[in-house]
């Protein structure tokens, strides 16, 4: 964290047994902090939340089908904090529309590029 070597790309928060766990994050340990103990950079980490926050997140995840993800890390005095958000995945028809728009954009770019080469 101090060396800014962390990735939150595929990380998510798992709510299990009244606790929150961060899975899938890659946090490279600081080499100068400990030379004899090598910590696993992708280990599961426990997040400290109060009971009200946990209940609110658990209800949203179970009832509404949201996913709980970590957006960012930051320092607050001497503590490291994790910003958590609820997100909803795309529907299947939304994905098809996005792919169609992306393909149309690619075809347009190819046509523009090929038109420039012909001149």
DSSP 57-117: HHHHHHHH--EEEEEEEEEETTEEEEEEEEE-PPPHHHHHHHHHHHHHHHHHHHHHHHHHH
The candidate with the shortest Cα–Cα distance to 15, out of 63, 59, 81, is 59
* Residue 32 pLDDT exceeds 70: no
Q: Are residues 11 and 60 in the same domain?
A: yes
- pLDDT band, residue 4 (cuts 50/70/90): low
Inside any domain, residue 1: no
Q: For the chain, what is the mean pLDDT?
A: 79
Q: Which domain holds residue 22?
A: 6-88
For residue 18, give the CATH number of its domain: 2.40.280.10
Q: Are residues 98 and 81 in the same domain?
A: no
Exposed e or buried b for every residue in 56-65, given b needs 16+ CB within 10 A? ebeebbeeee
* 66-112: pLDDT as tens digits: 888 888 877 788 777 888 888 887 777 777 888 888 999 999 998 88
């Amino acid at each position: 964290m101090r060396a800014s070597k962390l990735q939150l790309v595929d990380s998510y928060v798992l709510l299990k047994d009244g606790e929150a766990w961060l899975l899938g994050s890659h946090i490279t340990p600081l080499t100068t902090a400990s030379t004899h103990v090598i910590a696993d950079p992708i280990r599961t980490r426990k997040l400290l939340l109060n009971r009200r926050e946990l209940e609110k997140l658990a209800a949203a995840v179970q009832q509404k089908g949201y996913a709980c993800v970590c957006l960012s890390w930051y320092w607050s005095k001497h503590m490291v904090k994790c910003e958590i958000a609820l997100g909803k995945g795309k529907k299947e028809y939304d994905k098809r529309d996005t792919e169609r728009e992306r393909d149309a954009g690619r075809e347009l770019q190819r046509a523009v590029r090929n038109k420039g080469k012909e001149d």
